[in-house]
């Protein structure tokens, strides 16, 4: 048995056999519909299974990558070496009084809907954010004036050594589209949100309004990673891009959206290389015109296809 088969068989003893796939196509798990394959794709159903996978990977010196809903993410064409741990099956949401405890793989949109159904206010801003709870904490996701740090009380995390810990929200250094989760290599397992009792009709009205704004302004008809760039101080990224004459600019199958210049869409079966090249072109052009360096909000991971082909 070669090394790859040995790793595969060992993983199948850690989690259910059906929860381990070798050479899994990752573009099926990203909103951009981009990305190569994962050596091993694992979907744990319990925190203990996550723990065992992490400890096995650490013991055998195998790299591992965490994957939520794949919304704010670009995976390169060469895919990801090692183990991809997907949290899609850790998606339970529980409500106790005015608190909601949601597992990492639950969609933050669904958490906002659960809050509405229980007449709880505070998460309306999240009704259009497509990412997972884990991803929302990772980047302190926000929209329309609200953000995760406004309602987060605490989080259950796992360290890179595989130990489970509980931290208060104040210990996560939540700032604009950042936290200390990536720097500390924490794995988000669950989050506790503290909300307030509200009027269900008023909550629904806000969510309906935000949904309408999202659907009318964002290019939801094409695959995309969402808003590509952070808002630069004193400017709007979309307007800088539009004023630079880049709206509609296309490299291969990737295009700066005609509907909202802050979005880059996968219009015609783009490769990740084309998508990333367009991001770089937008950054360089805006800087040349306005001396403003647009900072990516989207995360880029994985291997270049050219590097894989050389091996």
Region 24-32: mean pLDDT is 95
What is residue 213's three-state secondary structure? Answer: helix
pTM as predicted? 0.92
For residue 26, give both structure tokens.
């990752």
Return the residue matching tokens 């939540």.
Answer: 174
Eight-state DSSP code of residue 262: T
**pLDDT tens for residues 196-223?**
999 999 999 999 999 999 999 999 999 9
The phi and psi torsions of 247 (rounded to 5 degrees) equal: -65, 125
Shortest CA distance to 219 belongs to which of 21, 28, 22, 31? 31
Topology annotation, domain 3-86? 3.30.43
- Whether 31 has a pLDDT exceeding 70, the answer reads yes
* Contact between residue 210 and residue 125 where contact means Cβ atoms under 8 Å apart: yes
Average pLDDT over residues 6-24: 93
Based on the residue annotation, tell me whether 88 is a catalytic residue of this protein: no
pLDDT score recorded for residue 2: 73
* Architecture category of domain 219-301 in CATH: Alpha-Beta Complex (3.90)
pLDDT score at 310 = 54
Active-site entry in 224, 227, 244, 257: 227
From 177, 214, 231, 296, active-site residue: 177
Of the CATH numbers 3.40.50.300, 3.20.20.140, 3.30.465.10, 3.40.50.2300, which one belongs to the domain with range 93-198? 3.30.465.10
CA distance 250 to 247: 9
- 3-state class percentages of the chain: helix first, strand second, coil last, to nearest 5: 35, 25, 35
> Which residues in the chain are classed under CATH 3.30.465.10?
93-198
Segments of the chain assigned to CATH 3.90.78.10 = 219-301
Position 76 pLDDT exceeds 70: yes
Cβ atoms 120, 197 nearer than 8 A: yes
Task: Report how far residue 131's alpha carbon sits from residue 77's, in angstroms, rounded to the nearest whole number.
Answer: 22
- 251-283 confidence digits (pLDDT tens): 999 999 999 999 999 999 999 999 999 999 999
Active site residue 112: no
Which residues, listed in sequence order, are joined to residue 152 by a DSSP beta bridge? 193
Q: Which of 124, 273, 274, 297 is catalytic?
A: 297
Interval 65-89 mean pLDDT: 95
What is the per-residue pLDDT across 101-119, written as a single tens digit (0 to 9) for each?
999 999 999 999 999 999 9
pLDDT greater than 80 at residue 173: yes
Active site residue 297: yes
């Amino acid at each position: 048995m070669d090394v790859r088969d040995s790793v595969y068989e060992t993983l199948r003893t850690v989690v259910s056999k059906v929860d381990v796939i070798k050479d899994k196509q990752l573009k099926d798990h990203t909103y951009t519909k981009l990305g190569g394959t994962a050596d091993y794709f694992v979907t744990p159903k319990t925190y203990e299974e996550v723990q065992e996978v992490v400890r096995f990977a650490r013991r055998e010196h195998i790299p591992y990558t965490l994957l939520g809903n794949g919304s704010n993410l670009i995976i390169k064409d060469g895919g990801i070496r090692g183990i991809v741990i997907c949290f899609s099956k850790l998606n339970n949401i529980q409500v106790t009084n005015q608190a909601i405890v949601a597992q990492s793989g639950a969609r933050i949109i669904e958490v906002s809907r659960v809050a509405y159904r229980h007449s709880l206010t505070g998460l309306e801003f999240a009704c259009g954010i497509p990412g997972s709870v884990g991803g929302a904490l990772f980047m302190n996701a926000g929209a329309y004036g609200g953000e995760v740090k406004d309602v987060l009380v605490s989080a259950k995390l796992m360290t890179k050594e595989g130990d489970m810990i509980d931290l208060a929200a104040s210990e996560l250094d939540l700032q604009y589209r950042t936290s200390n989760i990536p720097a500390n290599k924490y794995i988000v397992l669950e989050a506790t949100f503290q909300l307030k009792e509200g009027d269900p009709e008023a909550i629904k009205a806000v969510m309906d309004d935000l949904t309408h704004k999202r659907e009318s302004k964002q290019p939801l008809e094409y695959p995309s990673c969402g808003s590509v760039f952070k808002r630069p101080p004193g400017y709007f990224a979309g307007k800088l891009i539009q004023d630079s004459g880049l709206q509609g600019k296309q490299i291969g199958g990737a295009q700066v959206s005609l509907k909202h210049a802050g979005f880059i869409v996968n219009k015609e079966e783009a490769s990740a290389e084309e998508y990333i090249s367009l991001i770089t072109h937008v950054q360089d052009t805006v800087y040349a015109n306005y001396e403003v360096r647009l900072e990516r909000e989207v995360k880029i991971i994985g291997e270049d296809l050219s590097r894989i082909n050389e091996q």
